Structure 1
Amino acid sequence: MASMLLFLALLHFFPVGVAGLESQTSAEAEIVFLVDGSWSIGRPNFRAMRHFLGSVVDAFDIGPDKVQIAVAQYSGDPRTEWHLNSYSTKQTLMDAIARLPYKGGNTLTGTALNFTLSNHFNAQAGLRPGAHKIVVLITDGKSQDDVKAPTARVKEAGVELFAVGIKNHDVTELREISSDPAETHVYSVRDFSLLGDIVDDLTNNLRNSIKE
């Protein structure tokens, strides 16, 4: 009994970094998930991606003075699914993720990066002064347009980039897009069914970035 009480006390002061437990940092952060909705994914795999997105988001304390989450979906033309200030509670945010529709189209990642910078990191979209800015790119393929210049613009704006590649992605391209070091910013899985394997690692590294 005493050992169990000690274990619970340690959990209180040193929270375990696993999905499902909220981040203990009080820092403000803006996280935009840039989701590939191209035809190569398919509806069943898009459902797996949606579940993955929900698992990552569920690990954070959501609110207007905590972590804010936006989602943009892209293919040939990117679109805003919701802005940083669209949902102020975790429940409404999780409900929106569950309803996220599948877009379809080509894979223009460079265009999507430009769109995200222009449309999501501004005061009208909910950006707070001084908040840490993060983009998490999730894609299953190589971009059909240039990513070098858009990536540079995003990084110059002070945005930290994480990249998750699935199945037919180009690891070299994802390393070019992501922030350094690649070991904590680039994730690669062979299939959509394996996305759950990286949830803990991704959420821990996102937490660490926010705390810093």
Structure 2
Amino acid sequence: MTSRIISQLIILYFLLGIVESCSDFVFLVDTEIDDSPLGRGLQRRRDLVLKAAEQLDLSTGLHRVALIIYGKRPSDELLAGSFDDFATTDEFVQVLKSEFDALLLRNETRRLLPSIGSADALEILLKRVLSKKRMNSPVVVLAFTDGRIRPNEAARLERISAQLSKKHYIHTFAINPEGSISVERLATLELLTNGDKKAIVTSQNRQISAEQKMNDILAPFLSCQKFSKSRILRRKPKVATTAAPRQVDPECLIDVVLLMDFSGGAVDKREKYLNLGAELIKDVKLGPDAVQVAFVRFSGPKRTDTVFHLKKHQNAKNAVFEMLATPSLGGTTRIGAAMLDAFREFDAKFGGRSTAQKVMIVFTDGFSQDDPTDAAVKLYQENIRLFSVAVEDHNLPADFDNLKAIATNLLKMARKLNCVQTRKKGTPGI
């Protein structure tokens, strides 16, 4: 079965988990000189920024960094460097020192543009930086600012911060080294963190310095600990019987969701997708102690349709029969939204098992009106193994970037789904 499936698959991309990467950092640095003598507030900010920067390990590639500088500047270009622009930590530190020194040196002839606020900096992050992030790597946003709000900025800052907070891979921290901060400026720090007070670093608590609190926050990201900002924890179902438990091979306990693009653009590929899906499961043992399969079709906005849930079929032939009889939907294509909708199929009420391995296989050409990257990251954080499958089309080649954003390795999964039959022949499982 495996060889027949693999011979028909034109595109198989393995992405999630192949790169040993750590964190991507974004430094948002407000360089506005405060009203204190000699700009001491900015000097304290400078010291903290440099101490954070010196902890990065850029030369190995485990960490990467982007730099956005705002405030009163001689230029309206806020992006001082993106993720690929700083090869070493020393190089990044030198750029920071140069930026700060140029502002702290008194130069009455230098012309500065009107003050640029945090909302503008976040917009640069959203539009020009995040597209270059690494898959599987958290993005740690460090906003070094005194919290000064610019005129008519609050509503826009709140909107952009809320938009960023919905991205599960982003962790935003607002850092102000001052010990005395006004209520208005604290409110700005809360806007930057979308109301998360624990993500605000100051020196207001005399028992712990801003530097120490910043280091505590950075530690898990610097050491490459793997964790999710939002994790769903499910309780194990209560045992309602005293009968002896059945012997179940955990390697064969798999919940699979087949998600197929039935949009207007894929109407000529529908039959091929169905045949590939049928070939994948037709010889697999289905049931509560083995593999379970759900089938979901999708097209445009709010057009994700579950054909059958995980708990419905315990006979592969019946599952294949119902799947092959499913008509197209037509319309546009929203891969990311469909992936998040299909994620609900792993819920216990539809037959999802807390002890099962969870797999989603997306059959699509990759062309979508939304970006599936955020959805792929969300599912990865929920321990869903993702695969993408496309079929050959000489007239309209598949969108490789979107498929890569979804995919892992289907070859091993094809073997795992057939693990019961394979092991009868003496072949070890994967």
Q: Give the TM interval when normalised to the shorter protein.
A: 0.7 to 0.9
Counterpart residue type for residue 362 of structure 2 = L
Change (3 A) 1:206 1:91: closer
- Within the candidate set 279, 287, 301, 1:55 is matched to 279
Q: Which runs of 5+ in 2 are unaligned?
A: 6-248, 420-428
CA apart distance, 1:59: 3.4
Q: Hey, what does 1:100 align to over in structure 2?
A: 326
- More helix by proportion, 1 or 2? 1
Q: Provide Cα deviations, 1:52-73, integer angstroms capped at 9, x if missing partner.
A: 2111111321122111110111
Q: Which residue of 1 aligns with 2:403?
A: 174
Q: Could you say which residue in structure 2 is the equivalent of 1:163?
A: 388
Deviation for aligned residue 1:141: 3.7
Indicate if the aligned counterparts of 1:75 and 1:104 stay in contact, CA closer than 8 A: yes
Aligned to 1:128: 353
For the aligned residue pairs, the C-alpha RMSD in angstroms reads 2.5
Q: How does 1:71-110 map to 2 (within 5 A)?
A: 71-76=295-300, 77-110=303-336
Change in CA separation of 1:145 and 1:104 when aligned onto 2, cut-off 3 Å? same
- What is the deviation of 1:78? 1.1
Q: In structure 2, what is the Cα distance between the partners aligned to 1:174 and 1:207? A: 25
Asked if the contact 1:18–1:203 (Cα under 8 Å) also holds between the matched residues in 2, the reply is no
Using a 3 Å threshold, how does the CA distance of structure 1 residues 18 and 85 change in structure 2: closer, same or farther? Answer: same
How far is the alpha carbon of 1:94 from its aligned partner?
1.8
Matches of 1:158 and 1:201, distance apart in 2: 17
SS in 1 for 2:286: coil
Higher relative contact order (CA 8 A, sep 6+): 1
Specify the code of the residue in structure 2 equivalent to 1:53: G
2:399 aligned partner, one-letter code: D
Pairing of 1:1-212 with structure 2 (within 5 A)? 17-18=2-3, 27-42=252-267, 45-76=269-300, 77-117=303-343, 119-166=344-391, 167=393, 168-179=397-408, 184-185=409-410, 203-204=414-415, 211-212=429-430
Q: Give me the whole-angstrom Cα distance separating, in 2, the residues matched to 1:25 and 1:129.
A: 12
Deviation digits for residues 3-27 of structure 1, max 9, x if unmatched?
A: xxxxxxxxxxxxx85459xxx9862
Distance change (3 Å), C-alpha of 1:25 and 1:81: same
Equivalent-residue separation in structure 1 for 2:418 and 2:386 (angstroms): 14
Asked if 2 retains the 8 angstrom alpha-carbon contact of 1:109 and 1:147, the reply is yes
Deviations 1:128-180 (A, max 9, x none): 1210000000002411102121111111111000101233321122112223x
Contact 1:110-1:145 within 8 A present in 2 as well: yes
Residue 313 of structure 2 contacts residue 319 of structure 2 at CA under 8 Å; is this kept in 1? yes
- Taking structure 2 as the reference length, the TM-score comes to 0.37
Question: What is the distance in 2 between the residues matched to 1:29 and 1:19?
Answer: 21
Ranges of 4+ aligned residues in structure 1 off by more than 6 Å:
none
In the superposition, relative to structure 1, how do residues 59 and 172 fare at CA in structure 2: closer, same or farther (>3 Å)? Answer: farther
Residues paired across the two proteins, number? 172
Secondary structure of 2:355's partner?
coil
SS at match of 1:40: helix
